[in-house]
Structure 1
Amino acid sequence: MTHPIDMFARALTFHPDGAVEAAERRMDADSGGWQVAAFHVETDADVHADHWEMHPAAEEAVCCLSGGIRVHFRPEEPGGEEETVALPAGGAVIVPRGRWHRLELDGPSDIMSITLRRGTRLERRDGT
């Protein structure tokens, strides 16, 4: 029997063999396929705004479903400035493979992330 899936509680993993699985959301999980996850977020702490994140295995699509978010990209060269992409509801940005990025909220928002999580790394912004 088929059951509805709460996308704010679970993630969908699309496997190379064509199978789709609903499972627990984990930021660092190597689920063996592309993960689609939706999040209802209220504060910057909900999106670990104090950390940079990087996905070495694939690009990531970050989608703002409601509210508004800002995606910040760490400078690629020492001494460079962060790049920022503002996403209103319905907006998306593709984060290049291996590019350090972080999110900040304009207010409560619903967001969706699509990527291969294999090897995902987090690094505190303050370097500790």
Structure 2
Amino acid sequence: MTSSDSGGWQLATFHVETDVDVHADHWEMHPQADEAVCCLTGGVRLYLRPVRPDDTEDMVTLQPGTAVIVPRGRWHRLELDAPSDLMSITLRHGTRLEERTDAR
């Protein structure tokens, strides 16, 4: 789905092979609801954008069978440690993407 998609809650499962598959070069934000991100197989790192400019990114490492809740309105992104199967649930309405200015 893209930021222009409309609708309510979305439960999605997807297989990802590379950082391109998870748009690691973009921050994503859901203004209407928290997002649950679950790692089913593989491994992934979820980064939370700093709230203040002088802070650093927070990182959560997800292994198979683990999950994290991304708070509503918090910018976040993913990077893979291995090909992975992921699951997420959130309210997609209003989702925004923003290109990273510090992308490698």
Counterpart selection for 2:28 from 42, 53, 68: 53
Deviations 1:2-28 (A, max 9, x none): xxxxxxxxxxxxxxxxxxxxxxxx232
- CA distance in 2 between counterparts of 1:107 and 1:88 reads 10
- CA distance in 1 between counterparts of 2:14 and 2:30 reads 18
The structure with more radius of gyration? 1
- In the superposition, the TM-score normalised over structure 1's length comes to 0.77
Show the counterpart of 2:73.
98
- CA distance in 2 between counterparts of 1:34 and 1:121 reads 15
Structure with bigger RCO (C-alpha 8 Å, 6+ apart): 2
CA RMSD of aligned residues (A): 1.0
Q: Show the 5 A alignment for 1:1-128.
A: 26-28=1-3, 29-31=5-7, 33-126=8-101
State the identity %. 67
Residue correspondences, number? 101
Structure 1: which 5+ runs fail to align? 1-25
Structure 2: which 5+ runs fail to align? none
- In the superposition, the TM-score normalised over structure 2's length comes to 0.94
Q: Which has the higher strand share?
A: 2
Secondary structure of the residue aligned to 2:82 is coil
